[in-house]
Chains A and B, each alone.
Chain A
Amino acid sequence: MLNKRRFIQGLFTLVSAIICVLIGLALGFIILVVFSWSSYSSKGVPYTVGQVFSTAWEQGFKRILLGGFYNLGWKIPTRSLLLRSEICRIAPLLMCGLSVGFAFKTGLFNIGAAGQYTLGAYGALMCALILKLPWWACLLASVLFGAVWGAIPGFFKAYFNINEVITSIMFNWIGLYGVNTLMYGNGKSVMYNANESKVWKLVNKNASAIIPDMKGDGSTLFNKVFTNPSTIAVFIAIAVAIVLYVVLNKTVFGYELKACGYSKTAAKYAGINEKRNIILAMAIAGALAGLGAGLFYLTGTEQWNPQENTALPAMGFDGISVALLASSNPIGTIFSAIFKAHIATGGPKMEKTLFPSEIADVISGTIIYLCAFMLLFKNKLAARVFRRSRKPEGEIKK
C-alpha cells in the first residue's frame, strides 16, 4: 500500500513538472511568434501568417528544442562542439540544483548558490593558476570554498535567527565583489591575463588542472562525445546526486537533517542538535554549489572575466529552477538539469537578428513561477486520491 501511494505521488510530481515545462515552452513559442510578426511588419513587405509561424519555428523554437543537436539534425552525434558544450553545462547545473534541492529538503532556501558558486570558481582557479595543483585538488578546493560560503548564512540563521534568504543574498554580492577584486588585483594579479583582460587560460598555465576527458581518439561514439569540453565532470556530478539520494533517504544523518526541515522545535525535542544541523546543511549545500563551479571552470571552456562579470552567475539561480522542477529529488534533478542545459544551449542558437536568446531564460523563469504553486496542486490532488489528508511530502517549510 505504501509503495503504491509513493508511486502515485511520484507520478503526480512528474506530471505536474511536465505540465509546468509545457506551459513554459508554449509561452516561449508565443513570444517568438510575436517577435517574428513584428520583424515582418517592420520590413513593410507583404507576408502571410504561415511565414510568421514558420520563421518562429524554423529559426527560433526548433533550435531551442534541438539544443546541442542543432547542427546535427537528429542524427547520431559526432564530434559536435555544441553537443559537447551542452554536456559540459550539465554538471554545474546539476550541482547547483542539488545544492538548492538539498537545502529545501532540510527546510532552508539556499538562494546563495550563486555566491557559493562564485567562491567555488575562485577556489578552483586559485589552486589551478597560483598553486599549480592537479585537477582533483582544485575540485576539493572549490568544495571547501563553497562550503565555507554556505556555512556563514547557516551560522547567522542558527545563532542570530536571521532569515537565511536575506543573508545569502548579501553574501552573494559580497562574494562576487570580493572574488572579482582578488582575481583582478588592479590588473597585477597572477591569475589575471591583461592581454585578454580575463583570467588566464588553464591550458597556458597549468594543463594538469583540466578535468580529464575520455581521451577521445574518435574510435567509438562514447569517445567522440566525451572529449573536452565534455569531460568526466558530468559523471562525477551524477555520482554525487546518487550519493546524496542515499544519504537523504537511507541514513540517520539524512533523517536528522530532514527532521529539522519538517519541524525545528520537534527535532530539538527529539534530541537533535538543530543549530549544528542548520550550519551543516548550509555547508553541504554550499559545497555542492562550489563543486559545480569547479566542474565547470576546470574544463577550461570559459575564463572568468573579473571586469565584465558584474552580475551574479546565472548558474546559481538556474539551480533553483532545476531543483524546483525536480521537486528537490536528487535523481529527478539529473533529468531537470539535462533539460535546462538543453534549452540553454539552444537559446543562443536562434537567429540573433530576430530573436533575443534570453527567451530561453523567460521560459525557465516561467517554469519556476509555475512550480511555486504547482507543487501544492499536486499535493492536494494526491490527498484527494487517497481521501486522507496527510502532510504532503516535498513541501517547503520555513
Chain B
Amino acid sequence: MTSLRYSLAALALIGATHSAVAADNLDIIVPFAAGGATDIVARSFEPIFSQQLGVTSVVRNVAGASATVGTAEVANSEGNPNIIGYEPAGALSIQPSLKKLPYGSDSFTYICRTVSNPMFLMVSKSSDIESFKQLVEESQEYPFLYGSSGPGTLPHLAMAALTVNSDLKAEHVPYSGSGPAMNALAGNEIQIMADTETILENYDLRPLAVFADHRVEGYPDVPTMQELGLPALDFAVWQGVVAPKGISEERTQQYAEACKATVESDKFKAFADKAKADIAYLGPEDFEAFVQKRFAANKQVLKDAGLTP
C-alpha cells in the first residue's frame, strides 16, 4: 500500500515537473483546414505571438467535425505548457451542447479573446424587403428559407433564436460553408442569412438588423434587436486562445501578456483592419466568464429551437 502511495506521489511529481517545463517550441492548433477564415487570422497572429513569448511556434491544422477534433486535441493535452489552440466560437460555446465530445466548456485554461464581430440579419439587395417589419409580414403567407454555413453554426443559432423570439416564419437550409450559402442567396434559393460584416460587405446584401446590444459603427441606420421590440439577442463571431487545463499560473500569465501585446501591435491591427476583424481583447478571467455565459445562452437557444432535447 505504501509503495503504491509512493509511486503515485512520484507519478504526480513527474506530472508536475512535466507541466512546469516550458520548451522553446509551441504548437498552435487551428481546428480548421489551412486557408480558411480562422486559419488566416491565426497565421497572422502566430508570428507576433511567438515573438512576444520568445519561442518558435508551428501552426498545426487539425480539421474535422465542426472544429471539435482539433479542439479536443488541446483539451486532451492536460498539463502540457507547449500547446495552445486558436479557437472559433462554435467549438467552445455551441458544439459541447450539441453532441457528446471528449471536452466541455470547462476543459480549458482560457487565455484571451482576440477578435469579435457582431452578426447582421441580411437579405439580398435584389429583394424588395427593406425592414425587419416587412420581412415578418411577408413571411406570414409563405415562410422564408434561411441559410447557414452548416448545422449548429452561429448563423444557424442566431436565426433559430430569432424565429423563436419573433413572429418571423423561416426554415433552415444548411450549406457546407458561407460561400455555398451566398451562392444560394444570390440565386434566391434562400432569402435570409445571418453573418458578419465581412460577408455583408463582400456580397450584394442589405442589413436589416444587428444581433448586438448597441448599433454598430459604420451602420448607423441598422437597428438592434431590442430596438425592434425583441428580447436582447446577442450573437457575434469571435475567436480566442485556449490552453489545456493544468498549466501553471505563471505560464497562463505569460500567454495572456503575449496575447495582449499581439492584438495591440500595429502589425496585427493593420491585418485586422484589412480582414475586417474587430479586435476585442479579453483577459483570462473575463474570457472564461464570457465563454461560460455564451455557452449557457447558446444551450438555451438550442433547447428552445428544439435542436437538443
Chains A and B form a bound pair: no
